[in-house]
Amino acid sequence: MNRISTSGSYSSVLANLMSAQQRQGEAGDQLSTGKVGTDLKAFSRNGQVLTAMQTLDTRLTGFTAQNAFTANRLEIQDLSLNKAADAADQTRLAISNALASDRADALMTELQGHFSNAVSALNTRHAGKYLFAGGQVDTPPVSAKQLSDLTAPATVVADFFHNDDYIDKARVDETTTLNVGQLADDLGTSMFTAFKDLQAFEEGGSGPFTGKLTAAQRTFLESQISVWDSVHSNLVTAAAKNGAVQAQLDSVKTSMTTRQLTIQGMIGDVSNADLAKAASALTQAQQALQASSQVFLALKGASLLNVLR
């Protein structure tokens, strides 16, 4: 025979009441967060797998942020390299125009403008650091300001470049490192040498370039056309090299985005709650809680003490 007592009934009802409250809380948390649980205990045997996937997702997020920074740097480099190439092309065009008109009234003034643009391009900064300075990121890689600086006594073109030989690199994923840096002296030596030759001729016995071209001036300027074609070609090649690195980075970024979406989908499969199931569980828990509460109230009125009074 089973003994029936008020205390035993209370204990049973309270246990059911607390269980219903717990189920209601769990279902409510799942609906509000969209997740199975808030700690690894909620994921049972999938906990280790989830931790590994979250670690990988965090690492990919780090690469994504770094790659965005690198992409921005390469974009600024592209603009700078094309600016330098344009300065070379405009210099060649200015010489051609002088030959075509047989006059060089403002030739050197125009060339000074193109030289300044070239210097500005090679002294470009990104995130506060000089792009073409190698490891000397706090020092402008080019110190020349005027064409006349290039012909200062006891100087050579190399004296105006202050970068070192370090080529900056960027690790864009677990297995790929790209050379993203280029150096000012590699980019500018041939250009500055050609500018120096023009300035030296201007200052020499056959100069200056004013008014109608002399025979010596015409011969000299004609020889410079091919020189500036070569300078322009070298800078276009440098810009193309930068573009090739950009293409590699874009490919890595696309692959990484695909990987991260896959990983996040796998994480969701483990951690995301079935909202329809959670809503149903919440309704059932609320009904059970109400039922347990009603039984509790009924037991309170059915106490043996009330009968004995």
Give the CATH number, domain containing residue 140.
1.20.1330.10
Same domain, 78 and 13: no
Would you state the pLDDT for residue 54? Answer: 74
Would you state the pLDDT for residue 1? Answer: 44
pLDDT tens series, the chain, 309 aa = 444 555 555 566 556 556 655 555 555 555 555 555 555 455 555 556 667 777 878 888 898 999 999 999 999 999 999 999 999 999 999 999 999 999 999 999 999 999 999 999 999 999 999 999 999 999 999 999 999 999 999 999 999 999 999 999 999 998 999 999 999 999 999 999 999 999 999 999 999 999 999 999 999 999 999 999 999 999 999 999 999 999 999 999 998 888 888 877 766 656 555 455 555 655 665 655 555 555 555 555 555 555 555
Same domain, 110 and 248: yes
Same domain, 218 and 279: no
Same domain, 223 and 163: yes
Q: How many domains is the chain partitioned into structurally?
A: 2
Q: Is the peptide bond between 208 and the residue preceding it cis, with omega within 30 degrees of 0? A: yes
Q: What one-letter code names the amino acid at 82?
A: N
Same domain, 244 and 283: no
Composition of the chain by helix, strand, coil, percent to 5: 70, 5, 20
* Distance (Å, whole) CA 58 – CA 64: 10
Structural domain of 169: 63-267
Would you state the pLDDT for residue 58? Answer: 85
Would you state the pLDDT for residue 30? Answer: 53
Would you state the pLDDT for residue 186? Answer: 98
Instruction: State the pTM of this model.
Output: 0.74
Pairing of strands 177-179, 169-171: antiparallel
Same domain, 254 and 277: no
Same domain, 178 and 118: yes
Would you state the pLDDT for residue 274? Answer: 46
Would you state the pLDDT for residue 241? Answer: 97
Same domain, 201 and 300: no
